[in-house]
């Protein structure tokens, strides 16, 4: 009789294969795993359990209640998903199918798939960069490159608004074509259209670049009077940002610092840019309109401080 890989002591299978083999041996003979879907589910389950032991930053799954057509097995517990409708939940970003109760135990290891992530604007920032396997959103990289190549001396850069219909065209181009979108001078001669598209991207983020969780710490830091303590508080606040958000913020602040170096031509210093980008990058988690209004001056100050101290804080 032919030997399997598991019949020799010399073979040391990976953790997930050992776990899969154990499940196969424990299963009743008629249910020995032959179904492709169930086999895949078991491998996924074992891999998920193995990954739970690895302490690293991961993206949370975006689970939505889903009705599956045909027989389906939970990709976490490997059990059948019973029912005719709403049998479980499906991650809208990576397609993982699990029971609703299992979704609470699945590790935060979502790896977004481009077939599920169909747009650029209004897409969660971490989801976008993981789907495209990039450090930052391509909108940010491409717009900043275009602005720095031909717009740093433009008067009122970022303060002057571009034509809204053309800004919407740029948004649609990114949503449709991604990194292949054409935002060159041949398509959009007015640089204010590109700056407008960049600001719109940040405004459309479902979770702001400076996240709701980190927002209070940033506002608190802006209220500190001692300069050294203020920078230390800002540094601590930056640690609260998800890695993709922090990297994007670093890149943006370095760009805005370069904009200020052309202040004589573009008339945009750190204070002016703070006025423009404060409400764009930060949104109060409070629903109280008066509280949010009172925070505006501190939002401006946060961005101004980040620009001026970009080389120290990042």
pLDDT tens across the length of the chain (314 residues)? 444 443 434 434 444 444 444 544 544 444 444 444 444 444 444 444 433 332 344 678 888 888 888 888 888 787 888 888 888 898 887 888 888 888 888 888 778 777 777 799 999 999 999 888 899 999 999 999 999 999 999 999 999 999 999 999 999 999 999 999 999 999 999 999 999 999 999 999 999 999 999 999 999 999 999 999 999 999 999 999 999 999 999 999 999 999 999 999 999 999 999 999 999 999 988 777 788 888 999 999 999 999 999 999 99
What's residue 92's pLDDT? 81
Strands, sheet with 63-66, edge to edge from the N-terminal-most edge strand: 63-66, 88-91, 97-98
Q: Report the distance separating Cα 76 and Cα 52, nearest Å.
A: 12
pTM score, whole prediction: 0.71
What's residue 149's pLDDT? 97
Q: Cβ(278)–Cβ(296) under 8 Å?
A: yes
What's residue 302's pLDDT? 98
What's residue 58's pLDDT? 61
Q: Report the distance separating Cα 61 and Cα 51, nearest Å.
A: 15
Of the CA atoms within 13 Å of residue 206, those in its CB half-sphere come to: 11
Strands 63-66 and 97-98: unpaired
Cα dihedral 120, 122, 125, 131 sign = negative
Q: 137: closest CA among 258, 252, 304? A: 252
Burial class of residue 120 (count of CB atoms within 10 Å of its CB; 0-12, 13-18, 19+): buried
Tokens of 5: 């890989």
Q: Report the distance separating Cα 128 and Cα 113, nearest Å.
A: 9
* Other C-beta atoms lying within 10 Å of the C-beta of residue 134: 15
Question: Can you tell me which residue has the tokens 């699990």?
Answer: 98
* Other C-beta atoms lying within 10 Å of the C-beta of residue 92: 17
| Alpha carbon distances (Å) from 82 to 45, 86, 100, 106, 129 | 18, 9, 12, 19, 35
């Amino acid at each position: 009789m032919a030997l399997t890989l598991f019949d020799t002591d010399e073979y040391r299978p990976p953790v997930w294969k050992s776990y899969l083999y154990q499940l196969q041996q424990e299963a009743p003979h008629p249910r020995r795993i032959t179904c492709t879907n169930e086999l895949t589910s078991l491998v996924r389950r074992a891999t998920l359990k193995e990954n739970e032991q690895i302490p690293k930053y991961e993206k949370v799954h975006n689970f939505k209640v889903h009705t599956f057509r045909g027989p389906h097995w939970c990709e976490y517990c490997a059990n059948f998903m019973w029912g005719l409708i709403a049998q479980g939940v499906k991650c809208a970003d990576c397609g993982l199918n699990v029971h609703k109760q299992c979704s609470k135990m699945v590790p935060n290891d979502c790896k977004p798939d481009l077939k599920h992530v169909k747009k650029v604007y209004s897409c969660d920032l971490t989801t976008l960069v993981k789907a495209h396997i990039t450090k930052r959103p391509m909108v940010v990289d491409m717009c900043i490159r275009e602005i720095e190549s031909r717009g740093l001396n433009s008067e009122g850069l970022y303060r002057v608004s571009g034509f809204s219909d053309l800004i919407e065209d740029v948004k649609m181009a990114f949503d449709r074509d991604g990194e292949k979108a054409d935002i060159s001078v041949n398509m959009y001669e007015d640089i204010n259209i590109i700056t407008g598209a960049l600001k719109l991207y940040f405004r459309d983020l479902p979770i702001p670049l400076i996240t709701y969780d980190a927002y209070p710490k940033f506002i608190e830091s802006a209220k500190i009077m001692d300069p050294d303590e203020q920078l230390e508080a800002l540094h601590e606040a930056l640690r609260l940002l998800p890695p993709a958000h922090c990297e994007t913020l670093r890149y943006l602040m370095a760009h805005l610092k370069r904009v200020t170096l052309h202040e004589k031509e573009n008339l945009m210093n750190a204070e002016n840019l703070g006025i423009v980008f404060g409400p764009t990058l930060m949104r109060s988690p409070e629903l109280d309109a008066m509280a949010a209004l009172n925070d505006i001056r501190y939002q401006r100050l946060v961005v101004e401080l980040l620009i001026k101290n970009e080389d120290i804080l990042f």
